[in-house]
Amino acid sequence: MDERTHSPVPAANPVLARCLFGAVRQDWSRAEVQALFDLPFPDLIFHAQRIHRENFDPREVQISTLLSIKTGGCPEDCAYCPQSAHYGTGVAADKLMDVAAVVNEARAAKAAGASRFCMGAAWRSPKERDLDRVCAMVEGVRALGLETCATLGMLTAPQAARLKSAGLDYYNHNLDTSPEFYGEIISTRTYQDRLDTLDRVRAAGIHVCCGGIVGMGEGRDDRIGMIATLASLPAHPESVPINLLVRVEGTPLAAKETFDPLEFVRTIAVARIAMPASVVRLSAGREGMSDETQALCILAGANSIFYGPKLLTTPNPAQARDSSLFDKLGLVPMR
Ligand code: SF4
């Protein structure tokens, strides 16, 4: 610390100096990510905000809307998910929506200020006949002038190529947590399965949306492992959603203790520093967050949110609350 200015000068610590330089790099070690987590909170937020400003307009927040195009009945056993057929959560299994209905929802999302429309289906992986319809949805949504995103489970290389041809801009496929903790959360597909799908999406030329969930009972080491893995992918995901667990009755994680909001803010700040040029999305869990926690997340470098009353099957803040928060913080939708 420089005694005269009280500005955190990292040069005395070579590990930190390298971490705080603000470069986009793929060789993050866990020790480096841990050094960021261990920073005093004011220093961490200062550097996250500084690096954020080097890459983005700090007032701009990208707005996405997420629609469940095929809800429930999923054969996977993700312990946080109310759509898994393994748990009795009261979420009914629906069929894949019609193209026209999806395009109508996208039109309404655009009118509400969304720039990206995400379509989520509760599948292990899409069947070919379903993919035909999803490709038609992508084409219809794109024709409205919206960016398109889909999350459909695991993809083969030809499926990724078809989605790219239909005009898909982003594919969401989360790593969820660290490789070590992953087995506590999902048993029906492996961490490597996820990495393989990410490789196929990237190879097809589709932007990657990939992040994880905190508050599932993992330790800080697992949050470190998750961010180190994300930041060490061959290219950083363009979009990094950081979700706070939404505890849903009937899922194995329903009784998890409340997660410390300041540790959540820390996780956002570390993601911002480790992936300086990526959009970091304050994703699921906002409904239960105070305005103050959300403001700290924005200060820590989050610059994307989901807008709309529902996130797949769980509640999201009402649009009026989000508009009021944007006004209070002087935020504007990212162009
Ligand atoms: S998170 Fe996705 S893959 Fe996992 S159970 Fe839910 S819908 Fe299925």
DSSP 8-class letter at 148: E
Cα(123) to centroid of ligand 1, in Å? 7
Cα(75) to centroid of ligand 1, in Å? 8
* Minimum CA distance residue for ligand 1 atom 2: 122
Cα(95) to centroid of ligand 1, in Å? 15
pLDDT value of position 99: 97
Indicate which atom in ligand 1 lies nearest the CA of residue 153.
Answer: 3
CA atoms of 95 and 145, how far apart (whole Å): 27
CA atoms of 209 and 239, how far apart (whole Å): 4
Of 252, 218, 278, 275, the closest CA to residue 84 belongs to 252
Cα(271) to centroid of ligand 1, in Å? 23
Mutate to test the pocket of ligand 1, among 67, 81, 177 (most ligand atoms within 8 A of CB): 81
Beta bridge partners of 151: 120
Mutate to test the pocket of ligand 1, among 83, 124, 190, 213 (most ligand atoms within 8 A of CB): 83
pLDDT digits (tens, 9 = 90+) for 118-127: 999 999 999 9
pLDDT value of position 208: 97
Classify 299 as helix, strand or coil.
helix
pLDDT value of position 322: 82
| pLDDT band at 290; cut points 50, 70, 90 | very high
pLDDT value of position 65: 86
Indicate which atom in ligand 1 lies nearest the CA of residue 121.
Answer: 7
Indicate which atom in ligand 1 lies nearest the CA of residue 84.
Answer: 5
Q: Tokens 């080097």 identify what position?
A: 54
**Which of residues 3 and 8 earns the better pLDDT score?**
8
Query: Angle of helix 128-142 relative to helix 99-111, nearest 10 degrees?
Result: 30
Query: Angle of helix 128-142 relative to helix 157-166, nearest 10 degrees?
Result: 30
Q: CA-based angle 75:240:85, to the nearest 5? A: 10
pLDDT digits (tens, 9 = 90+) for 213-259: 999 999 999 999 999 999 999 999 999 999 999 999 999 999 999 99
**Which of residues 188 and 321 earns the better pLDDT score?**
188
Render 151-198 in DSSP notation, one character per residue: E-S---HHHHHHHHHHT--EEE---BS-TTTGGGT-SSS-HHHHHHHH
Render 60-120 in DSSP notation, one character per residue: EEEEEEEEEEE-S-BSS--TT-TTBTTS--SPPPPPPPPHHHHHHHHHHHHHTT-SEEEEE
Measuring from each residue's beta carbon to the nearest atom of ligand 1, which residues come in under 6 Å?
Answer: 74, 76, 78, 81, 83-84, 122, 153
- Whether residue 61 is predicted with pLDDT greater than 70 in this model: the reply is yes
Indicate which atom in ligand 1 lies nearest the CA of residue 312.
Answer: 7
Cα(174) to centroid of ligand 1, in Å? 10
CA atoms of 116 and 169, how far apart (whole Å): 9
Q: Tokens 């309404």 identify what position?
A: 108
Catalytic residue IDs:
74, 78, 81, 118, 149, 209, 281
CA atoms of 189 and 69, how far apart (whole Å): 22
* Minimum CA distance residue for ligand 1 atom 5: 84
